[in-house]
């Protein structure tokens, strides 16, 4: 299956994609967060999916190191639910702890300038998320996000 990975951030959003055999993960692009917010971003992602057909979307969920969800994880979850309601593809949330640190480490090896580092960081983080998802999902399949979860609170 071919997947699109999203590293969702407040300023920039990195996208990565894999081949149908799930072997090669490649950076696709980095989007600036539109001034109109998530709705405009979802439209850009829909256009990207039209140009690069995929079978599913992986959204990196930035848990805190203790496994709890902070404000950014909650924003990312809300974005993923909105995306799931807009497209017909399955959406998978995947733990992305330390993906940005791994991206920074990879970019340091390339000796990029700060500007070029910033331009690539979120795409590389999306690659890390996708590679980790593919490795994990091959042995422990992950259920897709339910865009209309029922409330379990009484």
Q: What is the CATH number of the domain that holds 42?
A: 3.30.420.140
Residue identified by tokens 């924003």 is: 75
- The larger pLDDT score, comparing residue 15 to residue 125, is at 15
Domain containing 81 equals 3-139
Tell me, yes or no, whether 30 lies in a domain.
yes
Tell me, yes or no, whether 67 lies in a domain.
yes
pTM, rounded to two decimals:
0.84
Query: Does residue 113 have a pLDDT over 60?
Result: no
Identify the pLDDT of residue 150: 65
The number of distinct structural domains making up the chain is 1
Tell me, yes or no, whether 147 lies in a domain.
no
Chain mean pLDDT for the chain: 84
Tell me, yes or no, whether 50 lies in a domain.
yes
What's the rounded Cα separation, in Å, for the pair 20 and 17?
Answer: 10
Tell me, yes or no, whether 121 lies in a domain.
yes
Tell me, yes or no, whether 94 lies in a domain.
yes
pLDDT tens sequence across 26-69 = 999 999 888 888 889 999 999 999 999 999 999 999 988 788 88
């Amino acid at each position: 299956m071919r997947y699109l990975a999203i590293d969702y951030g407040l300023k920039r959003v990195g996208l990565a994609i894999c081949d149908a055999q799930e072997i090669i993960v490649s950076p696709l692009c980095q989007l600036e967060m539109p001034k109109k917010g998530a709705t405009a971003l979802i439209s850009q992602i829909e256009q990207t999916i039209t140009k690069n057909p995929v079978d599913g979307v992986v959204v990196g969920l930035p848990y805190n190191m203790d496994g709890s969800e902070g404000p950014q994880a909650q924003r990312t979850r809300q974005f993923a639910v909105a995306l799931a309601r807009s497209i017909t593809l399955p959406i998978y949330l995947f733990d992305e702890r330390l993906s940005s640190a791994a991206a920074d480490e990879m970019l340091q090896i390339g000796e990029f300038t700060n500007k070029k580092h910033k331009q690539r960081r979120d795409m590389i983080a999306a690659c890390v998320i996708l590679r980790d998802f593919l490795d994990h999902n091959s042995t422990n399949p992950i259920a897709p996000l339910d865009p209309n979860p029922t409330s379990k609170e009484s």
